[in-house]
């Protein structure tokens, strides 16, 4: 039902705590860096995200429901 990026942002700000939003931002950044082929070590140095989180994102990118792949593909097609 949300129709614009601003509506999504406002909804997520009301729904999530700042820590939850930060965690989502971190995971999305990790997914982008994994897509670029960076190593876990390089991603850790760039983002300060734990190796456990990096591994979890990588696992979901490989064996999840396809959400990361859908958005990565769509973002890639716009660049």
DSSP-assigned states of every residue in 19-67: HHHHHHHHHHHHHHHHHTT--HHHHHHHH---HHHHHHHHHHHHHS-SH
Q: How confident is the model at residue 18 (pLDDT cuts 50, 70, 90)?
A: very high
Region 12-34 average pLDDT: 97
Provide the pLDDT for residue 52.
97
Is this structure's pTM higher than 0.75? yes
């Amino acid at each position: 039902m949300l129709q614009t990026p601003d509506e999504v942002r406002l909804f997520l700000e009301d729904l999530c705590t700042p820590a939850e939003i930060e965690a989502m931002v971190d995971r999305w950044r990790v997914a982008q860096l994994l897509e670029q082929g960076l190593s876990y070590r390089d991603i850790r140095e760039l983002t300060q995200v734990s190796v456990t989180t990096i591994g979890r994102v990588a696992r979901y990118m490989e064996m999840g429901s396809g959400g990361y792949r859908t958005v990565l593909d769509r973002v890639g097609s716009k660049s």
